Structure 1
């Protein structure tokens, strides 16, 4: 009994000592100064931030790997830690495919230029069906409702929406158009406003060649894609199959006489030394340098280039002026062109179905559709990078250069990344946004006129079922290759136009009619 009392006394003393030690230890923790805790400690009332990996389409001068303020803003908003994974644009599609094959898709993924693939992968369970979460996407949903007629253009065959698109909200989109050096045409005695027919346009090209000491004046940074604007001027396209607005169906190049006329026109440009011999393989960098230096005097490209390239030209020539014209008439008709839908998922963003931060990923993307989010992405912070005018529009108060990547907006905020962060383009942004530069007024009127008179309809959405997809894979690629390779040969005068009928027969033998029928099935 005595031994038992001794043991119990020892245990009691031990417990009391431990209690005192822990009490003092607790007091010592409480005595720490405010804010001296570990930097990894979650904010008061918040859980530990979740890691969100974001695969970004890297282009331009913004350093996406930096801890940009756009990341900081989103991290604070959603209580996350963003891990950016920037991938250069020239290898993006390849890396995108690798992440899918390796089953290692990050939480958020840019689907720039892989929009159709994103839908196909969404149907296979790779990406989240956003329409199942509209209750958590109020800012995004308002655009879905506003542009309901564009939703079919971005939905998959199962009618789900798998990517956040770029919204073109009442903005005169800086569309592709026909642009020439007006100052040099004037010196050659040609009024740019007198160009009414394709014949007038050819004379203008020839006059510019004379003004350029006999050197070629037309180049292209995307080969046939750029020359396609000439084809559209002729009421056709350098792509197959072509949707005919009047017939309301897709037609075969075999049944399109305007196609041959457009190719003959381009072949004459090449033969007469007006079209640059390297037009089909010219790099983006060489093309930009050639236009900026005044070596090339004509382009068929994004009219946003007008302001940028005029600024370059005027460094040495204050009177230089690139200006756009409406597509001239062919056989008395000024053809209208098919434009983009208001919801453009070719510049979209998707969420991995395996993410462990779904609510946070939804919150991040939805905020980018809010007025606050769009303003932050474009202008930064009020009082720091922009001020609000009396009329409610914004004005930059800091100098930034997005082409060279200098100044706080591109280097600190990440502004200028219209593919990754900007989700809405509207009229106010068109008027104020940095990307249009100080010479925006030289571009804006052309974009508006093109929007009103040329890009007057939207091409129909293409939705193929699984059986059609398999047949499409069998037919489309070999036909595209044969079609485009032969067009280049004809335009470069490497193949005589006398062989045109044989070319059409080759397309028939390759089952072009089946491909056209496949596309027309999507219209039913």
Structure 2
């Protein structure tokens, strides 16, 4: 297959190609009009590229929904909401991508050749999405201030009970020595980020480790003989009671139920938490501020605490990463070959480095063939040139060393790619890729809202946790047709081979 058209032919037969992706670097603007990539794909691939950045979160989903309603979807675009993806398939807005796979052999072999993962985006035998493998799954952990442990004569907690006692000491015994009551044992928020992890129904990623300690992490129990949602398990109630205990003891930031992830990051960097939930990438981004604010501090990664029966898990994850789709309108217009050429170019070589790392010798260098970011160029500048990096990155070892290098700050050494591997290895993560084949219920938002609001009320003490109140909560699931959702999930998981 030819990856580059001759210059004259490419100029004479330009294909307009619109690509819309969520911003890889929200801190930075879109690439400038004179971006070298625009020129190269025009000259070498015969493509007139038009790139648009989607807003993060629900705003991006809403933007795509509005474009679909106007029959104006981009030619190639990223989808982060599986409910939206399913809806677009049903509406006939997406094109099958089966025919593209042989046109980009290298990319297909490394990214789209897993038949089981392709099932996640298959309807009636047709593959409607380019489902990438995950490259950064399971990078979350609980981090503890080792310097505070040492000061108070404490050991790193290994069980829920030890966690509680350490959290109380960090809250009540002035570990920062400033004479003020301004520290908390634990910092976490209600967050449903799905970057390689699955938040499940309820309180999101930052509290899955509690449910994991009771053997009920994630949405479903995957028990082929008695399949059900985990929230029906008595241990789900016990895990919620533990979170309520943290709240009542005032060892968790009281703003946990309303603040955002950005607020959490500001506060742990300020030194307000003895333990906090964070990704390796988020830690890397905040270390400079953290050590500037907390001289002499030291952080340690904790394994997930064990529950009363010795169980532990940081949470659940999926082997599926980013998802890209092609609009039916683009395929009908004959743009399939151009899309395949562009994606194959982005996969390796010149395209990989330009999209993934930016401008050579300006944004990055290659000592010992390891891409190394030039941190002297602020992310608000160099980030513009890598807004499409997820199309390129593939998680190879040199890439991971480049993205997560050794950092020396505050007199401490952090080897970030080793910490990434440690988080994946010691988190006892549970593979729940099958969750992604479960179609969203027609009233999915109502289901999620009902479960989350009730669990927050239980955890905050706004509702008592008793046999009567918990029974009312479970009975109320009927009002959002949860049983039908549960039955449909079981059927889909069995048919797809995830429930045996």
Please say whether Structure 1 and Structure 2 have the same fold, judged by a TM-score greater than 0.5: yes
Q: 2:483 maps to which residue?
A: 513
Counterpart residue number, 2:146: 182
Shift of 1:145: 6.1
Check if 1:348 corresponds to 2:323: yes
1:10-159 to structure 2, matched below 5 A, reads 44-46=8-10, 47-58=12-23, 59-64=25-30, 66-67=32-33, 68-90=35-57, 91-111=59-79, 113-144=80-111, 147-153=114-120, 155-159=121-125
* Equivalent-residue separation in structure 1 for 2:132 and 2:221 (angstroms): 26
Provide closer, same or farther for how the CA distance between residues 98 and 512 of structure 1 changes in structure 2, counting only shifts above 3 A: closer
1:310 alignment partner in structure 2:
287
Match of residue 206 from structure 1 = 168
- Conservation of the 8 A alpha-carbon contact between 1:167 and 1:425: no
For 2:482 and 2:107, the matched residues in 1 are separated by 40
Does 2:196 align with 1:230? no
Native 8 Å contact 1:307 1:436 kept in 2: no
CA–CA separation in structure 1 for the residues paired with 2:375 and 2:40: 20
CA distance in 2, matches of 1:437, 1:70: 30
Residue 329 of structure 2 aligns to a residue whose secondary structure is coil
**Corresponding position of 2:386:** 415
- Classify the secondary structure of the residue corresponding to 2:309: coil
- The match for 2:462 is 494
Query: CA shift at 1:489, angstroms?
Result: 0.4
The aligned counterpart of 2:310 is 333
1:197 and 2:177 are equivalent in the alignment: no
Q: Tell me which residue corresponds to 1:263.
A: 240
CA shift for structure 1 position 274: 1.5
Cα RMSD of the aligned pairs, angstroms, is 3.0
**Structure 1 length-normalised TM:** 0.78
Deviation at 1:174, TM superposition (A): 5.5
Q: Offset at 1:382?
A: 4.9
Residues 512 and 98 from structure 1, CA distance in 2 versus in 1: closer, same or farther, beyond 3 angstroms?
closer
Question: Contact (CA 8 Å) 1:310, 1:321: kept in 2 or not?
Answer: no
What is the deviation of 1:436? 8.2
**Contact in 1 for aligned 2:7/2:43 (Cα 8 Å):** no
Q: Counterpart of 2:414 in 1: which secondary structure?
A: helix
Other-structure match for 1:358: 336
CA distance in structure 2 between the aligned counterparts of 1:444 and 1:451, rounded to whole angstroms: 11
Query: What secondary structure does 1:279 align onto?
Result: coil
Please identify the structure whose Cα radius of gyration is greater.
1
Deviations, residues 290-321 of structure 1 (Å, cap 9, x unaligned): 12211234322323222232321111333222
| 1:487 CA drift (Å) | 0.4
Change (3 A) 1:137 1:125: farther
Secondary structure of residue in 2 paired with 1:460: helix
What is the CA–CA distance in structure 1 between the aligned matches of 2:231 and 2:56, rounded to whole Å? 36
Partner deviation per Cα, 1:235-268 (whole Å, 9 max, x = no partner): 224x6xx322565874234631111111111111
Structure 2: how far apart are the matches of 1:104 and 1:304? Answer: 35
CA distance in 2, matches of 1:117, 1:334: 35
Q: Aligned to 2:292, what secondary structure does the other structure show?
A: coil
- The more displaced of 203-212 and 369-378 is 369-378
1:369 correspondence with 2:331: no
The residue number in structure 2 matching 1:447 is: 420
Given that residues 221 and 287 in structure 1 are in contact (C-alpha distance below 8 angstroms), is that contact kept between their aligned partners in structure 2?
A: yes
> Aligned pair 1:480/2:448, yes or no?
yes
Note the C-alpha offset of 1:144: 4.3
Distance 1:438 1:127 in 2: 47
**Structure 2-normalised TM-score?**
0.81
Would you say the 8 A contact 1:166–1:423 is kept in 2? no
Q: Distance in 1 between matches of 2:363 and 2:452?
A: 47
Selected match of 2:250 from 259, 270, 273: 273
